[in-house]
Amino acid sequence: MAWQTSTTGGYPWDAAVSRAEHLAAKADATKELLTFYAELLRAQKGIYDFLRGREGWLPSGVLEDDLAVVRRTLPGLLGAVEASGPAALSEEARALSHAGVEEVGRMILEEWRAPTGTRFFAKALLQPYARWLAESGGYPLDRDLERGGNRCPFCGGRAQVSLLRTKEPSADGGGRELLCATCLNTWPFRRVLCANCGEERPALLGYFHTPAYDHIRIEACDTCKHYIKGVDLTRFGLAVPVVDEVAAAPLDVWAHEHAYTKIELNLVGL
Ligand SMILES: [Zn+2]
Ligand SMILES: [Zn+2]
């Protein structure tokens, strides 16, 4: 099942789950991480299906007003993390299951309005919410973030991963896009351009690649010392960018050793 993002067909959660399971089965060092991520994606699909299937309800785009519905998806997520997450997250999930309605609401709203990318549970809930908001024709009304070339035009989120895919047969190797860390939409972005600071001088933009991950590379900037991973779908069409990005965790080690900071941590904190 190939990965595609169309706003009419719904987000391909199943393709993401299958890809994570497939990679987990053949992984070594990242097996646990990918097994957990598969469960997490399954829980996110559950959230998405719940929101999407709710009769007579569409997200308003004012998250504060939608919270009562969104909060109802939390127990499923907490259960999945408790059952299959790493110890620290599992502990956090247990604590959160006893937290008050207001505390939970505040956490989700804060991540929506001033995203850090590090509030795991809020980010995990907000991805399917924002995704369904986009697909259902809504707009984030209480998320007043700057837009601009390196920010998601829909929700203002930062780039989680960069990708290359062929759009037209004439495109030479496919156009570059960035994928939003919050709503998972993609938008076109110039090839030789830092997704963090806008550096465009080729001498200051470096790439790191190993044969172990033929279709993935680190795209690093020496001006702002930030990096993002690039997934090349023209080299491997079955890749699912958010999943393959996680599977290539050893590349993050290289980046950190070279003092680069990731533009946005992924859901599993890498
Ligand atoms: Zn977005
Ligand atoms: Zn930069």
Task: Output the CA angle 125-126-127, nearest 5 degrees.
Answer: 95
Kindly identify the ligand whose nearest atom is closest to the C-alpha of 180: 1
56 C-alpha to center of ligand 1: Å? 25
Q: Over its length of 270 residues, how does the chain's per-residue pLDDT go in tens digits?
A: 456 655 456 789 999 999 999 999 999 889 999 999 999 999 999 999 999 999 999 999 999 999 999 999 999 999 999 999 999 999 999 999 999 999 999 999 999 999 998 899 999 999 999 999 999 999 999 998 988 889 999 999 999 999 998 655 455 545 899 999 999 999 999 999 999 999 999 999 999 999 999 999 999 999 999 999 999 999 999 999 999 999 999 999 999 999 999 999 999 988
46 C-alpha to center of ligand 1: Å? 20
Kindly identify the ligand whose nearest atom is closest to the C-alpha of 224: 2
| Structure tokens that stand for 245 in this block | 């990005």
94 C-alpha to center of ligand 1: Å? 29
Instruction: Give the number of other Cβ atoms within 10 Å of residue 31's Cβ.
Output: 13
- 218 with 209: CB under 8 angstroms? yes
The predicted pLDDT at position 216 comes to 98
156 C-alpha to center of ligand 1: Å? 6
DSSP character at residue 201: -
224 C-alpha to center of ligand 2: Å? 4
10 C-alpha to center of ligand 1: Å? 15
- 111 with 182: CB under 8 angstroms? no
Distances (CA, A) of 50 to 53, 67, 76, 228: 5, 14, 11, 32
Kindly identify the ligand whose nearest atom is closest to the C-alpha of 178: 1
Kindly identify the ligand whose nearest atom is closest to the C-alpha of 261: 2
The predicted pLDDT at position 127 comes to 97
Cα 17 versus chain centre, distance: 14
d(CA 26, CA 8): 33
The predicted pLDDT at position 148 comes to 82
158 C-alpha to center of ligand 1: Å? 7
d(CA 60, CA 50): 16
26 C-alpha to center of ligand 1: Å? 31
The predicted pLDDT at position 1 comes to 45
Kindly identify the ligand whose nearest atom is closest to the C-alpha of 220: 2
98 C-alpha to center of ligand 1: Å? 30
154 C-alpha to center of ligand 1: Å? 5
Rounded to 5 degrees, φ, ψ at 107 are -60, -45
191 C-alpha to center of ligand 2: Å? 13
Counting beta carbons within 10 angstroms of the beta carbon of residue 6, is it exposed (0 to 12), middle (13 to 18) or buried (19 or more)?
exposed
Counting beta carbons within 10 angstroms of the beta carbon of residue 127, is it exposed (0 to 12), middle (13 to 18) or buried (19 or more)?
buried
The predicted pLDDT at position 173 comes to 44
212 C-alpha to center of ligand 1: Å? 30
| Structure tokens that stand for 50 in this block | 């719940």
The predicted pLDDT at position 117 comes to 86
215 C-alpha to center of ligand 2: Å? 22
Half-sphere exposure of 131 (CA within 13 A, CB side): 29
